[in-house]
Structure formats: structure tokens, C-alpha cells
Amino acid sequence: MTLVSSTPLLAETRKKGYAVVAFNVHTIEMLQAVAEAAEESRSPLIVQTTVGTVKHLGIDYIVGAAKAAAKQASVPVALHLDHCQDFELILKCIRAGYTSVMIDQSMHPFERNVEMTRKVVEIARPLNVNVEAELGKVGGVEDDIRVEDDAASLADPEECRRFVELTGVPTLAPAIGTAHGIYKGEPNIDFKRIEDIAAQVDVPLVLHGGSGIPEAQVKRCVALGMAKMNVATELKNAFTRALQKCFAERPDDLDPRSYMVPAKEVVKRLALEKMRLCGCTNKA
Ligand code: 13P
């Protein structure tokens, strides 16, 4: 298959009560690992990269690898650009072959967020590229973006409705109490707010900060309308810890391929677990 837009992958999710997991990958091996997990569990897959990873790997390497994964897969695979504030970079990624982009203007006033999101939607829609935008501010650290606890704010349901109407955005990430990174305690999710937002807008909703949310809470979020769950930190940490373990256990092994194998396996197992949690297993 070729890379597909994430729009059709998310289309039925709310109605059918599952969410597609979007995995942030930092290396080609992580991309391969989540693709293997998707294939094995017959799950639709969204691979996503932050702007930092775009700078690190390069757009063409990422698109090339994602296309290779999609070609080998019998399940649908989309490639998404996560949390991008840079309009020009969004255009470059779309031109290069990304099938989904996030324009993140959540740090700006509502009107500016509307204006920029609408601009991206106008370009992306005719090209069949999905667009995601954020309302409210998700706290925590995601790559170069840091939102302190006191600056985080929750999305307002009525504003969500107006935002979707004004922008035509096909996917919305409302801040509902989750945060990027590892939680210090339990996440403080405002379930009532998810319900209220879902009652106001019928586009697929995106749950950011998917690392470390307890199983029952993930399931509740999905049941209330979260259609895509982003997972970054847990995957990155598991990959790196697996590499560290190899270095500690086999300091004389100097073949990079031999330590990538167990690290990929750890990422794949974690990806399978997240897909099970979100109920997207066998939904491809
Ligand atoms: P975590 O790093 O908490 O998994 O959040 C991922 C995310 O929301 C990426 O946009």
C-alpha cells in the first residue's frame, strides 16, 4: 500500500468506539518496530514525527522510510507531522509526502489559531492531507515545546464548536487535562469536559500525552470520543533503556545491529500493548 491520509483511518473510530494510536518515532528502527506491531495486530497505524525529528533525520529519509513501511504493510499507514508551529515547514512536509499535519497555534489567541489553522486546511484538504489543531494548552514537554503547569489550560467546549466551524479542521486536539511526558502522579483528566466537547463537535478528537495514562482512563477517554491517542515519551524511553541495557550487559559488542534488535522488540511490544488498550487491534 501507499501512505494514506489519516482522515479515513479516523473516520469510523468514534462511532465504533476505538482509537488509532499515533506513535512518535525518533529513529528508523522505531518506525519499523511500530509498523511490525501494526501488521501483527492488524491495526491501522499513524506514524508521527516532531519537528525535532524532522531536523534530526531529514524529511526525505522519514518519508522514504514511512513509504517503505506502508508498501510492505497490508494495514493502512499514515505519516503525521506532530506539533508544528512553522507554516513553511508544514508546506515542505506536505510536498514531500506527509499525509497528515498538525498546525499548533495553541499558544496564540483564539483568532490567530483560527486564521492559521484555516490557512493550512485550505491547502491540505484538496491534497487529501489530514489536519490537526489544538485548543487549550496541553502541559508538559514535547521536544522543544515546554508548557509549564500554570500555563496549561483546558479547552472550552463551546470554543471547540466554533473553532471547527470556522476552520473546517478535520481533527481536533482539545486539552482535557493530560500532559506530555511522564506523569508525576495520576493524570488529572476532565472526563466531563471530553463528553461536553464530543457533544459539540463530531470530528475525531485527539488525546495528547498518551504515555502513562492508566488503562481504565484510556478506555474511558476512548469511549467518550477520543479517536486518536498520541504516544511519544514511553516509546522513546523504552527504546533508549533497552539500548542502555545492551551496552551494560555487552560492552564489547560493537555491532550496532545487534543492540537495535532487542530495542526494536521492546518498542514493538509496547506498541502492541497501546493498540490493545485503544481497541484498534483487528480494525485495519
Ligand atoms: P507523551 O509524550 O506524553 O506520550 O505525549 C505524546 C504526544 O501527545 C505527542 O503529541
Q: Pick the atom of ligand 1 nearest to 138's CA.
A: 8
What is the structure's pLDDT at 172?
98
Say if residues 166 and 127 touch (Cβ distance below 8 Å).
no
Instruction: Please confirm, yes or no, whether 196 is among the known catalytic residues.
Output: no
Sequence-distant contacts of 112-116: CB under 8 A, at least 24 apart = 113/163, 114/163, 114/166, 114/167, 116/87
Q: Write the CB contacts of 126 (distance below 8 Å, at least 6 apart in sequence).
A: none
Which alpha helices (DSSP H) does the chain contain, by range? 6-11, 13-16, 28-41, 51-57, 59-72, 87-96, 110-124, 157-167, 191-200, 215-224, 233-249, 256-278
Residue of 82, 143, 156, 196 marked active site: 82
What is the structure's pLDDT at 230?
98
What is the structure's pLDDT at 151?
75
pLDDT tens-place values along the chain, 284 residues long: 899 999 999 999 999 999 999 999 999 999 999 999 999 999 999 999 999 999 999 999 999 999 999 999 999 999 999 999 999 999 999 999 999 999 999 999 999 999 999 999 999 999 999 999 999 988 888 887 888 877 788 999 999 999 999 999 999 999 999 999 988 888 999 999 999 999 999 999 999 999 999 999 999 999 999 999 999 999 999 999 999 999 999 999 999 999 999 999 999 999 999 999 999 999 99
Residues 201, 84: Cα–Cα separation, whole Å: 23
**Residue closest by Cα to atom 1 of ligand 1:** 209
Q: Among 246, 236, 235, which residue's Cα sits nearest to residue 272? A: 235
CA–centroid distance, 254 to ligand 1, in Å, is 32
What is the structure's pLDDT at 184?
81
What is the structure's pLDDT at 139?
83
Q: Pick the atom of ligand 1 nearest to 24's CA.
A: 9
What is the structure's pLDDT at 140?
87
Q: Within 6 Å (CB) of ligand 1, which residues are found?
A: 24, 82-83, 142, 180-181, 208-211, 230-234
Say if residues 156 and 136 touch (Cβ distance below 8 Å).
yes
**Residue closest by Cα to atom 9 of ligand 1:** 230
Q: Among 182, 197, 200, 82, which residue's Cα sits nearest to residue 132? A: 82
| Ligand 1 mutation target, pool 233, 235, 236, 267, most atoms within 8 A of CB | 233
What is the structure's pLDDT at 222?
98
What is the structure's pLDDT at 73?
98
Residues 284, 231: Cα–Cα separation, whole Å: 19
What is the structure's pLDDT at 52?
97
CA–centroid distance, 143 to ligand 1, in Å, is 10
* Partners of 131 in the β-ladder: 101
